Chain A
């Protein structure tokens, strides 16, 4: 076969300039391929929302030149997780010298800054980026993808990368997606709240570029599957909630999505942290959280799917991870494309190397290891029952009444009858799966 099946057109067309698409464009252009990336936003990042924390450790080696200059906000040096009952909350805080050692493992980020910067790096390597351009369809010939249609034009390429995010109409048009099921997706809603840098550092006990990550579960989501988050940026806070769409639409109590966020903001624990801040943006985005079972095909003839488009994000209770999976899958998709380019063969058989690369990396290993997490964690007891239970136990343990204080053991046992202990044990056994 000729080295280049398609003589007109590009080597690669990438639909979507988020972290997956830009990582792929950067890698492919570095390898000398002719890349066209189409992004529907005014600029890369204009349509993208994240909570706020990227784990750099798993992807540091894949982009050795990038991290020194990347516009990251603060390295996360302080972790807190809170269990919220209706009237009280319990918080665990973790600080450790390991969180303060270079290279730092995770950072808070704002996508519009990060994506725009990464877009410039990809352009510098020679990728061609066209913004304000929506991909409308794929060109399919005998089941093989030959390019895309955008703005009434036919653009041809040897291979197309669908990096168009969670809804991925591009993968859908190529017949690679499973039908949407509400149980496999969450809604994330977020406010960016501007606050003076000094106030942030004083309020969160931060030195210099240190940052704090705070996660909340329980009453935050009215007991529905999900949680709340707060990340400190340089001079703003990212505050939001993530909640399962199925739970939101179908489970009691009926709470409208915007009200959940408002209720969260009004909790005294949160109101105190954001006091004096000014909301400057309100955003929302769907998150894939169905794991392996919800994933469609990762490749077909002439096409690869990466990032959220492939369902590569994970919701492990309070924390969502997707950015590093997006970057790594973009990178491995680029590797598979470069090997296919060498062979001059972009059939699904050759492109299947992509899946093997992901399996050999942290990406699909993580999805394999955490494959039970959604079904285990989707247990309403974790979001309603336990926060209230632990809250009540602590309330009684800490309470000093006017009269004599009850002994500690009976205080705890009062809340934990045989039935509760049995259920606790069962939940504990299920938790061991993750």
Chain B
């Protein structure tokens, strides 16, 4: 059996360039929105989690800029744009 590599370790393999402000934000008052819960399942980088108050939070470091959360949850709950030019993930293989 191959050993399982943790998600953090996998993300650590990627090249990221620090950028300005967060490019994904949960819209005001939507942290408990049912639609946002899907992000926890669908995000391939595991960046969403639910806190004990039932609010979903995002930690945007490691974001692969795939767009899955935007499509699963919708623009009503997420304010989503690409990070500034030349920042964010830079794939070396793709």
A contact residues vs B (CB 8 Å cutoff): 40-43, 45-50, 110-113, 115, 131-134, 150-151, 166-167, 169, 180, 182, 185, 187, 189, 191-192, 236, 245, 248-250, 254-258, 261-262, 265-266, 268, 271, 274-275, 279-286
Q: Is the interface of A mostly helix, strand, loop or mixed?
A: mixed
Return A308 CB to nearest CB of chain B, in Å: 11
Which residue of chain A has the shortest Cβ distance to B40 in the bound complex?
A256
User: A112 touching B85 by the CB < 8 A rule?
Assistant: no
* Residues in chain A near residue B2, CB distance under 8 A: 265-266, 271, 274-275
Q: Quick check: A133 and B85 within 8 Å, CB to CB?
A: yes
Q: Does B90 contact A (CB under 8 A)?
A: yes
- B1/A271 in contact, CB under 8 A: yes
Add 8 more A-B contacts to A110-B93, A115-B94, A257-B42 (CB < 8 A). Answer: A40-B82, A45-B91, A46-B90, A47-B90, A113-B93, A167-B67, A258-B7, A283-B64
**Any chain A CB within 8 A of the CB of B54?**
no
Q: How many chain B residues touch the partner (CB < 8 A)? A: 40
The contact of B42 among A47, A187, A236, by CB within 8 Å, is A187
Please give, as numbers and ranges, the residues of chain B lying within 8 Å of A113 by CB-CB distance.
Answer: 93-94
Residues of A within 8 A of B84 (CB): 134
Task: Report if A282-B94 is in contact (Cβ < 8 Å); known contacts: A151-B85, A275-B2.
Answer: no
Question: How distant is the Cα of A115 from the Cα of B66 in the complex, in angstroms?
Answer: 18
A45 CA / B89 CA spacing, docked (Å): 11
Q: Which of B43-94 contact A (CB under 8 A)?
A: 43-46, 64-68, 70-72, 74-75, 81-82, 84-86, 88-94
| CB < 8 Å A-B pair total | 143
Determine how close the nearest CB of chain A comes to the CB of B79; give it in whole angstroms: 12
In the complex formed, the residue of A with least CB distance to B64 is A284
Using CB atoms, name the residue of chain B closest to A39.
Answer: B85
B71 close to A180 (CB less than 8 A): yes
A189–B43 Cα gap in the complex (Å)? 10
B92 touches A281 (CB 8 A): yes
* B58, chain A: closest CB distance, angstroms: 15
Using CB atoms, name the residue of chain B closest to A50. B94
Q: A61 CB to closest chain B CB, in angstroms?
A: 26
How close is A225's CB to chain B, nearest CB, in angstroms? 14
A112 touches B91 (CB 8 A): yes
Q: How far is the CA of A182 from the CA of B14 in the complex (A)?
A: 27
In the bound complex, CA of A61 to CA of B19 (Å): 41
Give complex CA distance A191, B7 in Å.
12
Q: Is there contact, CB below 8 Å, between B42 and A185?
A: no
Q: Are B94 and A180 in contact (CB under 8 A)?
A: no
